Amino acid sequence: MLQTSRRALFRAAGVGGAACLIGVPMASPAAAQSLSRRPYYHYSVPKGWKNDPQRPIYVNGQTYYYYLYNKDFPSAVGTSWRLVASDDNVAFRDLGDAIAKETNPNGSIWSGCLVVDERNTAGYGAGAIIALATQEDRFAPAPHKQAQFLFYSTDGGRTFNRRDQVALANPGVVDFRDPKIIWDEARSRWVMALAENDKVGFYHSNDLKSWTYVDGFIRGGLGVFECPDLFWMDSDTGPGKWVLGVSVNAKHLGLPANYAYWTGNFNGSNFIPDHQEPKWLDYGWDWYAAVTWERRVNGQIDPKTRYAIGWMNFWDYANNTPTWGSDGFNGTDSIVREVSLKWYGSESALVSTPVRTLEARASRRINLGDITVDGRTVLDYRGRAYQIQTRVTWNQLQNLGLQLRLSNDDSRHIDAGVYHDFAYVNREFTGNPDSRWLESHTPFDPARREVNLRILVDNLSVEMFVDDGRYVHSSLTYPENADDRIALYTDGGPAVFHDVTITEFNPAVATAYARIKNRATGLYLDGMGRTTNGTDTGQWASSSGSNNQQWVVENTGSYVRIKNRATGLYLDGMGRTTNGSNAGQWASSVNYNQQWVVENTGSYVRIKNRATGLYLDSMGRTTNGSSAGQWALSSSNNQQWTIEAA
């Protein structure tokens, strides 16, 4: 009955005045529809398949993040460990496979974890990077084949060698996987947490090569545990706590299917929880196999904050994604979060907020001020990838929220808000991967009459942080590319949406520059060293060391601007609407001549100017130094380009 009331509101015609957004350009729906579905500021696998994150480590001041990867998807199964690196935990640079599928005769490598062996306990050298991961032991009888194997790296985690002996053999159970290792400083030994059906087993080791079982934490009825986590956290608001986490599917109990956790005490061998029922770090449908890791500031561990990242998908529908057909990939991650331990009276809980470095990647902020809504107000803004923040206050009402990725006919949207005594994200009225799990809920005290909402929207996801991260909803969504509006709504009375702020971000590409290559000529778009406004943009054969061939693609909402590294000028349509006219360069401006749409055509893209309506065209010119042109839409290879990391 509660959902019926909201849905009736969502289907109703809009009421209330429109909130004007001065100076914010509106995108053409036709232009937006042709864009790629790839997430803009969230990490996604370059091609093929990704799933479980592996706990990142620090190498030479960078975050090294490994994940399960299948280059052969969908024709073959099995995973390797792929490596990406980041300076800010927002943009990641792909470094290729670190542990291949067939590194040893046991086949694919599954989830595990890495540690930096600073004390040389394993004997591979101080600072060697050790990976413990699950594989199927080829010598063990079915179905008890899951066992833990060791791999080691002496080149800083770029490649790994195998150790053929089993590090931890299967004791005769079906589920025996996903080791997570920490160093116990007080007792000078390693501790492993291992997922064993409805139990987390604890093991000790002095050398990472052999392990001894000591105890286990059992919680039946939730489901099969995966990807355990174990760490200590200090707190600003009360005493510190040990935290034991697992990924588990508890949908059959009306609970989430992601990261459950317990706070408690751990003496190096056994974990005593403060509470029997789990708490959840996320309440949405798509934050599975999440990992946390240490936050470091100037090389020192921050004892009060950890980072976290989760796989934005779930096994119920993991293969049900339109991105394989549109972009040739299946797999994206949540934004990295900062996790802290907060006390609410006598109870402690983990809270999480987007990593603070995300704000440093902002390309534009739009502040709309305070907006009073009594019914529905559509914002004069269009975009597919952004953050929207607001504090909402009211005296009396039943329902309030935001309609995100709203279609022009109002029929498709994602709804995020508060209904009486719960906050929610609803994906029923947009493309989504599943017909059953459509709305996520978290508790809300209606007597408060105030809520803070911070919502991250990208091409494939919505992440809502309620009241500074006290509760989080992360869900996979598949909106149409043309659905790019936002509406604010209330039911049962007015509300004030205070300080409504929209933030757009630069793309999450750690390699800040790209090269743009023409399919027909094989030449690259080139700034030619020309720094005068109005000069032509050229083309030149590959010159990987030249900054003239390196460009930054900047997000401006539904359009991009393309800036040359060497000249500092932007690719510009120059207002030229005649077929064959040259594309130019100009210093930064808000003119539509500098705004482009990148249209996906399969293996290539077309690049269309907003002002002229013409497409970037090589004109078939194969001579170094020839100008790049513009032409009306055609099927010619002259209009087809690839955008490569520089």
pLDDT at residue 25 in the model: 33
Topology of the domain covering 2-34+361-414+443-505: Jelly Rolls (2.60.120)
Section 302-323 average pLDDT: 96
pLDDT at residue 613 in the model: 97
Whether the pLDDT of residue 14 is over 60: the answer is: no
Distance (Å, rounded) from C-alpha 412 to C-alpha 210? 55
The DSSP-derived string for 123-144 is SS-TTEEEEEEEEE-TTSPTT-
CATH fold match for the domains 2-34+361-414+443-505 and 48-318+332-354: no
Distance (Å, rounded) from C-alpha 292 to C-alpha 493? 41
Distances (CA, A) of 333 to 390, 405, 475: 24, 19, 11
Return the structure tokens found at 33. 């529809």
Q: What percent of the chain has pLDDT over 90?
A: 85
At residue 607, what is the residue type? I
pLDDT at residue 329 in the model: 93
Distance (Å, rounded) from C-alpha 79 to C-alpha 419? 42
Distance (Å, rounded) from C-alpha 458 to C-alpha 559? 14
Q: Which of 398, 401, 373 lies closest to 494 in space, CA to CA? A: 373
> Do residues 408 and 32 touch, judged by C-beta distance below 8 A?
no
The H-assigned helical ranges of 316-384 are 323-327
pLDDT at residue 3 in the model: 28
Q: Which of 570, 561, 559 lies closest to 527 in space, CA to CA? A: 570
Expressed in angstroms, the distance from the first to the final Cα of the chain is 55
pLDDT at residue 317 in the model: 94
pLDDT at residue 349 in the model: 98
Distance (Å, rounded) from C-alpha 567 to C-alpha 74? 43
Topology of the domain covering 514-645: Trefoil (Acidic Fibroblast Growth Factor, subunit A) (2.80.10)
Section 433-437 average pLDDT: 90
Mode of pairing for the β-strands spanning 329-330 and 48-59: parallel
Return the structure tokens found at 11. 């289907």
Would you put residue 379 in left (φ > 0), alpha (ψ -120 to 50) or beta? beta
DSSP-based three-state secondary structure for 529: coil
Whether the pLDDT of residue 222 is over 50: the answer is: yes
pLDDT at residue 8 in the model: 28
Distances (CA, A) of 573 to 417, 528, 618: 41, 17, 14
pLDDT digits (tens, 9 = 90+) for 458-517: 999 999 999 999 999 999 999 999 999 999 999 999 999 999 999 999 887 654 578 999
pLDDT at residue 512 in the model: 55
Distance (Å, rounded) from C-alpha 519 to C-alpha 523? 8
What count of Cα atoms within 13 Å lies in the side-chain half-sphere of residue 452?
7
Return the structure tokens found at 140. 């063990």
What count of Cα atoms within 13 Å lies in the side-chain half-sphere of residue 228?
34
> Do residues 140 and 149 touch, judged by C-beta distance below 8 A?
no
Q: Is 467 a catalytic residue?
A: no
pLDDT at residue 553 in the model: 82
Please report which helix (H) or strand (E) contains residue 85, including its range: strand 80-86
Domain range summary for the chain, segments of one domain joined by + = 2-34+361-414+443-505, 48-318+332-354, 514-645
Three-state SS letters, 277-307: CCEECCCCCCCEEEEEEEEEECCEEEEEEEE
pLDDT band at 390 (very low <50, low <70, confident <90, very high): very high
CATH class, domain 48-318+332-354, is mainly beta
Distance (Å, rounded) from C-alpha 457 to C-alpha 404? 8
Section 589-600 average pLDDT: 90
Q: What percent of the chain has pLDDT over 70?
A: 93
Section 275-301 average pLDDT: 96
> Which one is catalytic: 52, 117, 536, 617?
52
Distances (CA, A) of 162 to 101, 157, 170, 637: 12, 13, 19, 46
DSSP-based three-state secondary structure for 6: helix
pLDDT at residue 557 in the model: 63
Whether the pLDDT of residue 577 is over 60: the answer is: yes
pLDDT at residue 16 in the model: 32
Distance (Å, rounded) from C-alpha 558 to C-alpha 382? 7
pLDDT at residue 560 in the model: 84
The H-assigned helical ranges of 97-222 are none
Distance (Å, rounded) from C-alpha 191 to C-alpha 267? 11
Whether the pLDDT of residue 614 is over 60: the answer is: yes
Distance (Å, rounded) from C-alpha 180 to C-alpha 192? 5
Return the structure tokens found at 600. 């996906």
Distance (Å, rounded) from C-alpha 525 to C-alpha 584? 11
User: Which has more pLDDT, 473 or 324?
Assistant: 473
Section 55-69 average pLDDT: 96
Whether the pLDDT of residue 334 is over 80: the answer is: yes
pLDDT at residue 508 in the model: 77
> Do residues 598 and 643 touch, judged by C-beta distance below 8 A?
yes
Whether the pLDDT of residue 622 is over 50: the answer is: yes
pLDDT at residue 386 in the model: 97
pLDDT band at 142 (very low <50, low <70, confident <90, very high): very high
Strand partners of residue 65:
84
pLDDT band at 371 (very low <50, low <70, confident <90, very high): very high
Section 134-148 average pLDDT: 96
Q: Measured at the alpha carbon of residue 471, what is the angle toward residues 467 and 472, in degrees to the nearest 5?
A: 110
The H-assigned helical ranges of 336-443 are none
Please report which helix (H) or strand (E) contains residue 327, including its range: helix 323-327
Dihedral angle of Cα 324, 327, 333, 334, to the nearest 10 degrees: -110
Distance (Å, rounded) from C-alpha 114 to C-alpha 129? 7
**Could you tell me which residues come within 8 angstroms of residue 251 by beta carbon, excluding any fewer than 6 positions away?**
257, 437
Distance (Å, rounded) from C-alpha 245 to C-alpha 200? 9
Distance (Å, rounded) from C-alpha 455 to C-alpha 452? 10
Return the structure tokens found at 429. 């009225």
> Do residues 477 and 343 touch, judged by C-beta distance below 8 A?
no
Residue appearing with tokens 């022009």: 408
Strand partners of residue 242:
232, 264
pLDDT at residue 26 in the model: 32
pLDDT at residue 123 in the model: 98
Distance (Å, rounded) from C-alpha 546 to C-alpha 625? 14
Quote the mean pLDDT of the chain: 92
Distance (Å, rounded) from C-alpha 319 to C-alpha 331? 10
